[in-house]
Amino acid sequence: MGLTLRQALEVIRGKAVPPPERGIAPVGMELLAAWEAFGVHKVHRTGQIKASTWIVDYGKSAKRLQVVAGKAVDAKSLLTLAGEAWPPGSRRRQVVLQHLAAMCRWGVENDLLQADRWTPPPSLKSYVGEKRAGRVDGIPLNDDQILGLLNGLPQDTAGQRWNYAIQLMAAYGLRPVELLHLRMEPAGGLWCDYIKRSGGGSTRPRQLRALHPEWEVEWRLRERIEAGEPLPPFGGGVADAARRYLSRQQAWMDLATSGATCYGFRHGYALRAHQTYGLSPRVAAALMGHSVETHSRHYGRWTDEATIDSALEAAMQYRKLTQAQASV
């Protein structure tokens, strides 16, 4: 949007106000200036997010703000107008409204925006809306689906590189972007150094453990990482590159129709951690590099009746085992 911090603050405080851009009312300029100052606060003053995150992730919210800033008269109308660009309940709509509400809240708290006009509502639920019933988002991929996909990819150079990338995501439960942040230690430990920063905090580097361990051995993953085997080119971001490549593969089409995304390999890791290995949410969350709350929110919805019955059966077997050991 082009304003420096000094210019942004001058606009907010009514000093040296530049002429409004065509089609943007003065109140719109006030919001745009507050957004610039908000970004400086989050990136440079507090370090809550990286500059790249502000440019890429918050940039989408900034573009929407530019469109609606001159039309909004208060926080509620701003959120209503901003959300109209995306379907109710969509992730992008939710994120943009969260960004704009946080900006308004910060602006009010710092006396940059009028409290009676720009204090956002305590809940964004009615502005975000709900997804239409029947849509499946990000289902976990089971072992057979993963192996079937790997066997169905082409054997050319691109296919071999994507096969390797998918093996890594599946075996270690990686986010797509984490493919770029793998490190082998001299002692043999495999680490992911990716740090995910958000307004709620940041993740830490973590040591990776394969589920299943035999996949790691059979696919020679550690040796290939240490040897520097090339991954596919990721122009435009890893997740987008994976989406583009997989969307052209026949072996992926049925999975995509059922709701699978490139995060399905990571989701499958979470499901294996509980169903196959009986790990607690706390341990599984640590393996995957996020909080227990995040883990439960994203993966708790896959606990169906069959999963519960299977877990109870395993628990009963464990009880019998411990009772037998105690009686010896």
Residue 134 falls inside a structural domain: no
Same domain, 309 and 173: yes
Of residues 39 and 8, more confidently modeled: 39
Residue 109 falls inside a structural domain: yes
Residue range(s) defining the domain that contains residue 294: 143-323
Same domain, 121 and 212: no
Compute the distance between CA of residue 77 and CA of residue 197 in angstroms, rounded to an integer: 29
Same domain, 152 and 121: no
Same domain, 161 and 94: no
Same domain, 178 and 123: no
93 confidence band (pLDDT: 50, 70, 90)? very high
Q: How many structural domains comprise the chain?
A: 2
* Residues 28-73 pLDDT 10s: 889 999 999 999 999 988 988 988 889 988 999 999 999 999 999 9
Contact 75, 104 (CB under 8 A): yes
Same domain, 266 and 301: yes
Nearest 5 degrees, angle CA 282-CA 285-CA 289?
140
Same domain, 96 and 163: no
The domain boundary, picked from 128, 151, 176, lies at 128
> Average pLDDT, stretch 95-122?
95
Residue 220 falls inside a structural domain: yes
Task: Provide DSSP, 284-328.
Answer: HHHHHTS-HHHHHHHHGGG--HHHHHHHHHHHHHHHHHHHHHHH-
Residue 111 has pLDDT above 70, yes or no: yes
What pLDDT is stored for residue 308 in this prediction? 57
Same domain, 212 and 313: yes
Same domain, 9 and 157: no
Question: Which one, of 91, 73, 90, 72, lies nearest residue 82 by Cα?
Answer: 72
> Average pLDDT, stretch 130-156?
81
Compute the distance between CA of residue 47 and CA of residue 29 in angstroms, rounded to an integer: 26
State if pTM tops 0.75.
no
Residue 23 falls inside a structural domain: yes
Q: CATH number, domain at 187?
A: 1.10.443
- At 192, is the secondary structure helix, strand, or coil? strand
The per-residue pLDDT of the chain, averaged, comes to 83
Same domain, 159 and 306: yes
Same domain, 253 and 104: no
* Residues 236-252 pLDDT 10s: 789 899 999 999 999 99
200 confidence band (pLDDT: 50, 70, 90)? low
What pLDDT is stored for residue 214 in this prediction? 97
Same domain, 217 and 115: no
